[in-house]
Structure 1
Amino acid sequence: MYSKMILGIAAMIAAGSAQAGDAEAGKKLFEQRCRACHMIQADDGTPIQKGGKTGPNLYEVIGRTAGSEEGYRYKDSVVEAGQKGLVWDEASFTAYVQDPSAFLKEYLGDGGARSGMTFKLRKGAEDVYAYLASVGE
């Protein structure tokens, strides 16, 4: 079931890639839903979005290997996904944030895979992606 869901989400994203997300809407959604656990802080320490430290810093997360933010302790499944080649692009990011553990179970082929992120961003993932892609170098 999860594999069909993940493949369906990826297909919708690929089909709608011409309809890129709205970075402004993503910023608002980040402020409402994401910053309770995540911050965005530039490498030089400049805060872009103040927020929690429960989750990793999302500065330049787009294009980053999963589970590789220095100084953050990830669940083993996220690190393993990164070791197997998971890099955060639009398809993987938007599928992951909609159901993190289901995504990892499918990606790793491991029914016991877990993410530390229990929140599911059911709507607006493409907007948050556009926002995060717009933040950084």
Structure 2
Amino acid sequence: MRITHSMLFGAVMAAGLAAPTAALADGDAVAGAKVFKKCAACHVADEAKNRVGPHLVDIVGRPVASVDGYKYSSAMTEHANEVPEWTEEALDEYLRDPRGVVKGTKMAFAGLKKDDEVANVIAYLKDPSAAE
């Protein structure tokens, strides 16, 4: 049996999973560094140093709520049971609406609304040195 793209998409949708956006693969780390300035009051991405929020070094692929020395909200630690890893897709969803995705999070940021900003920040988080 030959599996087509539409069959795969249908299976993903039937399983209740979000289809990954093409924008994630197209992010620009340099542009993401500029957008990340919105996050920099609370987070750093280029050194393992916590601020108001946990550091984001190697966040893509890292377990959710796992930075040593950072006290996460109970909402975030509970979220880690549902979403155990910060995949690009999980970051995409969270960055768009942090308080909607993790109700009770202590993160006050309202979220990024533009597709390109989200994709670019994720590209920057994957490789902060690319923006230097």
Q: Same fold (TM over 0.5)?
A: yes
**Max radius of gyration: which structure?**
2
Counterpart contact for 1:60–1:135, Cα < 8 Å: no
Asked if residue 122 in structure 1 is aligned to residue 105 in structure 2, the reply is no
The 1:30/1:70 distance shift into structure 2, 3 A limit, reads same
Give matches, 1:1-137, under 5 Å: 10-11=18-19, 14-16=20-22, 19-31=25-37, 33-43=38-48, 53-104=51-102, 113-119=103-109, 120-123=111-114, 124-135=117-128
Deviations, residues 35-57 of structure 1 (Å, cap 9, x unaligned) = 011113435x7xxxxxx811110
CA RMSD of aligned residues (A): 2.4
Normalising to structure 2: TM-score of the pair? 0.72
Structure 1 unmatched ranges of 5 or more: 1-6, 46-51, 105-112
Normalising to structure 1: TM-score of the pair? 0.70
CA shift for structure 1 position 15: 4.1
Percentage identity across paired residues of the two chains:
32
Structure 2 unmatched ranges of 5 or more: 1-15
Distance 1:95 1:117 in 2: 15
The 1:18/1:63 distance shift into structure 2, 3 A limit, reads closer
Q: Which stretch of the first structure deviates more once superposed, 54-63 or 16-25?
A: 16-25
Count of equivalent residues: 111
